[in-house]
Amino acid sequence: MIPAIGLKTISFLLLFPAVSLHAQLAVKGETVYTMSGAPIADGIVLISNGKISAVGKAGEVAIPADYRFLSAKVVTPGLIDAHSVVGLAGIYNQPHDQDQLDKSAPIQPELRALDAYNPREDLVEWLRNLGVTTLHTGHAPGALVSGQSIIVKTAGATVAQALLDSSAMLTVTLGASVGQNFDSPGTRSKGVAMLRSEFLKAQDYLKKKQAKDESKRPARDLKMEALGEALSGRLPVLMTANRVTEISSALRLAKEFNLKLILDGAAEAYLLLEEIKTAGVPVIIHPTMARHWGDTQNASFETAAKLKDAGIRFAFQGGYESYVPKTRVVLYEAAVAAANGLGFQEALAALTIDSARILGVDNRVGSLKAGKDADLVLFNGDPFEYLTRVCAVIVNGEVVHDVCR
């Protein structure tokens, strides 16, 4: 018969699966890619209380006797999906789990992904088991302004447990897809004009909020407040723009309103490399294997390599697909780019540290360094080889997946 204390312990672990008996870990890799320096052959990463406590060669890092030990062919930082709708879009493609795009109005900056994200969504677990430990997610492209995105870890039973940034970026879309979802705008110029008009209104709102006479200050307006955060530079603006026309418009809008711009998609970015570089704008590139039609008909497997050669920082994304399972896997997208001129090290950087820098979370994730969050992926071979399997995933120092798949 199990003692009462044992039953309580078992119940606790069932209710709170994030709690682990192994808070202290030693991870050994034949090759450890730290992304904060050169790869380490026969490397060790020590983990304690959710953080990395030491990284180095096996002969130089002492492993305490009570640490749980894991080993793999290759160890990398946790992968980062730099743009997704996972957690708002669900795996079953049914109305009850599709919160990624509200079509009641084309401009809704007040909508927060924070209020719709489901950390228990099966798609979150699916990505986590494939090595994605950090996710920048939110409303889908397809509205002029679809809402505010969030950055989360792919572990945690509640939004609060998963959350890294509750208001990461303002998500904007330029191009034909907007006209497919709304009666207005019907043309590219109308779409840009509508955005400019709203930003001008937000500028006026901010000025009135500063009035010395409180009676002359406007009532709170969530829409204007969100746009005001973008105008102040506190809220970066992620603009989905794939064709040269849209990319050029995005750069003009950013210059006119002094926006902190990040280009999303950018299928034809290779035609405007000089302009993007001069503007100092990073790119979250379209899924490499995205279907080439509509705004992405001129997408290329080589765009990532061209961005790298031009000195433009970029990251990979899972993106949004209208069919199940709603997202692509950044690991595979990066692998294709690596084989088309980008190279291994650059592709891995775009999946980890460069992505973390673009998202503004590199103080916590993106590399294996003492003091950072203990997010690691253990592979049984080259991460970009299709037959390689993810054999363990660690998030915040907890082993959340340990079956090769």
Amino acid 321: pLDDT? 83
What strands, in cross-sheet order, belong to the sheet with 163-165?
79-84, 132-137, 150-153, 163-165
Residue 278: which H helix or E strand, with range? helix 273-279
CB 297 within 8 A of CB 266: no
What 3-state DSSP class applies to 40?
strand
What 3-state DSSP class applies to 253?
helix
pLDDT at 192 over 90: yes
pLDDT at 148 over 50: yes
Amino acid 96: pLDDT? 87
Amino acid 9: pLDDT? 33
Confidence of residue 150 (pLDDT cuts 50, 70, 90): very high
Q: How many other CB atoms are there within 10 angstroms of residue 249's CB atom? A: 20
């994605």: which residue's tokens?
132
Higher pLDDT, residue 325 or 392: 392
Amino acid 292: pLDDT? 87
Give the integer Cα–Cα distance in Å for 366 and 352.
4
pLDDT, one tens digit per residue, over 193-228 is: 999 999 999 999 999 999 999 889 999 999 999 999
Paired tokens of 221: 């307006």
Paired tokens of 226: 């969100």
CB 75 within 8 A of CB 30: no
pLDDT, one tens digit per residue, over 67-88 is: 999 999 999 999 999 999 999 9
Average pLDDT over residues 310-333: 92
Lowest mean per-residue pLDDT among 2-11, 64-73, 89-98, 162-171: 2-11
pLDDT, one tens digit per residue, over 230-281 is: 999 999 999 999 999 999 999 999 999 999 999 999 999 999 999 999 999 9
CB 336 within 8 A of CB 343: no
pLDDT, one tens digit per residue, over 122-141 is: 999 999 999 999 999 999 99
Paired tokens of 270: 């290779």
What strands, in cross-sheet order, belong to the sheet with 68-77?
51-57, 40-48, 24-32, 68-77, 376-379, 390-395, 398-401
What strands, in cross-sheet order, belong to the sheet with 261-265?
145-148, 170-173, 237-241, 261-265, 283-285, 314-315
Average pLDDT, the chain: 93
Average pLDDT over residues 83-112: 94
pLDDT at 322 over 50: yes
What 3-state DSSP class applies to 81?
strand
Q: What percent of the chain has pLDDT over 90?
A: 86
Amino acid 4: pLDDT? 39
Amino acid 15: pLDDT? 36
Burial of 140 from C-beta contacts in 10 A (0-12 / 13-18 / 19+): buried
Across-strand partners of 98?
Answer: 89
Of 377, 399, 379, give the one whose Cα is nearest residue 388: 379
Paired tokens of 184: 């207005």
Sign (positive/negative) of CA torsion 243, 246, 252, 253?
negative
Amino acid 246: pLDDT? 97
CB 268 within 8 A of CB 244: yes
Tell me the C-alpha to C-alpha distance, in Å, between residue 376 and each of 30, 67, 77. 14, 16, 5
């995005």: which residue's tokens?
250
User: Going from the N-terminus, what domains does the chain have, and what CATH number goes with each?
Assistant: 17-78+369-401 (2.30.40.10), 79-359 (3.20.20.140)
Residue 76: which H helix or E strand, with range? strand 68-77
């946790």: which residue's tokens?
78
One-character DSSP codes across 261-276: EEEEE-TTGGGSHHHH
Q: How many other CB atoms are there within 10 angstroms of residue 277's CB atom? A: 14
pLDDT, one tens digit per residue, over 8-22 is: 333 333 333 444 444
Of 400, 343, 341, give the one whose Cα is nearest residue 78: 400
Give the integer Cα–Cα distance in Å for 362 and 136.
13
Paired tokens of 6: 């044992």
